[in-house]
Structure 1
């Protein structure tokens, strides 16, 4: 049964994204400070409903408070005070933090993505410090306990560390994944059961966008949709979206984007003059060499799309897979 919140979010054009509360300027950190993130708080907020959450405060820890850290204890990850007082009983906050992840998703089953505070023992999604019981740092390969709970319960949902969003390529990639995931969620909400036609129509506009991210996923999706094994559509659909979302996790680069642009230019073979084609090739080459941003050859090629018969190319998500107002493709 579809929840009321899922239906409400389906009727909204805005993304719904969970986010560590400190990134929105909430003074909830251990030192009563915040880590306000400009992209999230100033730009993303214009196109998304951001749902702030601080799991440490949510489990009852005070602000300010002593810092906590992950400790590898008895083959499990515990979350404890960083500097416990001598003689104090060891308190493990990990179970409570994990429970908060389940509670949050139960209250917000219509999320399109999540942005976590980097390096946090509760919220970091990658490279979190994990210590030995003797106090020495063992690894920097951990995942925040709360973040791990979110990701385990919603493995296909796009998540990202706020620190990584400062990289323009990673930021653009996250927005691409948000769009694909939301479109899939809305498709499933609109159907009692999916058909092969639904899968093919869903994928068609994403073809060249996926090609830019992962040739491996691009080929795998093609094989899946051919369905030579005659798999039931419900099973095929699960495999399809898993391959698609994994493919979009791969960061596109100038070489892969240039390859896609050249593929798309093939559609214009009979519709561009030699001079126009040479101009287009020159812009693609300048982009490939790092002289111009992606938006430059895209704008020029899109200008020529109206010359083509049909609308297959014009309907490709590759042209603009996210809100143009963010200006993300001017930075990559």
Structure 2
């Protein structure tokens, strides 16, 4: 997507499903518009935020504001956060850190961006530059919808039955991202009686979001698609089996996008009324209007 169309995608399309909270750290600490440009100086681990020409140090002011802002954001039930790429305040990676002589030592994180990640380790984050990549975009938005469903589960009380149902609904989605986390989360659910409820919930969502952060590659998606294919052994006709195998193989060879085999599978799920697959979010991880799987 071009920048202008991506901006409209966020505000017009994605905005139908999420409420946005605009934040500009520089404005919120009292700096004017326009203002003198700033850079990070010193070490990547503990950089200072200084203006380029006058050398005014805004580190303490930014850090104090960020601490208070993050406390306020705890009440907002955030599902995700989009940061400004390479910003000395809001960047979450590849932010240049300069030496006093003007050279670049390393790259780090912006003061607010870095503090946010530490404070909210489970919340999906991305910078606006990486979101132009279709795979990063689909992964980020998919994780936001998962977290939104998790928050809904927690609001209802998150009973053990509710957790098991949640896990069952997301099994194939987890498989497509990380077979390792698929096994790990399955073990957690299998031993619900051995863990305290709060510890179990905390361990489950931590591992879930960690696993989903891994990109669902063509290879891993193909594995999930073939796994789903196995549920139709007793239902599909010979022609339908051949069509499905061919469609999955075409995706595996990257001739067609993921939306094609998924659409065909959803058709067969409805046609043959496969109840287990009807509930799988892998086949409907986000609204079709977002068209995210048309490009991966």
Matched, 1:119 2:86: yes
Provide the rounded CA distance (Å) in 2 between the counterparts of 1:179 and 1:71: 37
Provide the rounded CA distance (Å) in 2 between the counterparts of 1:74 and 1:187: 38
Provide the rounded CA distance (Å) in 1 between the counterparts of 2:271 and 2:150: 31
Query: Which runs of 5 or more residues in structure 1 are unaligned?
Result: 1-23, 26-35, 85-89
Equivalent of 2:239 in 239, 262, 275: 275
Displacement of 1:50 after TM fit?
1.2
Which residue does 1:306 correspond to in 2?
270
TM-score, normalised by the number of residues in structure 2: 0.92
Provide the rounded CA distance (Å) in 2 between the counterparts of 1:302 and 1:262: 14
Provide the rounded CA distance (Å) in 1 between the counterparts of 2:258 and 2:43: 48
**Distance change in 2, residues 1:262/1:150 (3 Å):** same
Displacement of 1:96 after TM fit?
2.3
Which residue does 1:132 correspond to in 2?
99
Matched, 1:82 2:47: no
TM-score, normalised by the number of residues in structure 1: 0.82
Provide the rounded CA distance (Å) in 2 between the counterparts of 1:117 and 1:177: 19
Secondary structure at the counterpart of residue 282 of structure 2: helix
Q: Deviations over 1:74-118 (max 9, x none)?
A: 97211011222xxxxx53322322333333333332211110000
Displacement of 1:39 after TM fit?
3.0
Within 5 A, what are the aligned runs for 1:117-266?
117-140=84-107, 142-191=108-157, 194-227=158-191, 230-266=194-230
Provide the rounded CA distance (Å) in 1 between the counterparts of 2:233 and 2:44: 65
Provide the rounded CA distance (Å) in 1 between the counterparts of 2:257 and 2:273: 28
**Distance change in 2, residues 1:228/1:156 (3 Å):** closer
Displacement of 1:224 after TM fit?
1.3
Asked if 1 retains the 8 angstrom alpha-carbon contact of 2:42 and 2:99, the reply is: yes
More off after superposition, 262-271 vs 104-113: 104-113
Displacement of 1:228 after TM fit?
7.8
Secondary structure at the counterpart of residue 51 of structure 1: coil
Within 5 A, what are the aligned runs for 1:33-52?
37-52=7-22
Secondary structure at the counterpart of residue 22 of structure 2: strand
Displacement of 1:156 after TM fit?
0.3
Displacement of 1:307 after TM fit?
4.3
Asked if 2 retains the 8 angstrom alpha-carbon contact of 1:101 and 1:147, the reply is: no
> Which aligned segments of 4 or more residues in structure 1 are displaced greater than 6 angstroms?
none
- Bigger share in helix: 2
Equivalent of 1:327 in 279, 284, 291: 291
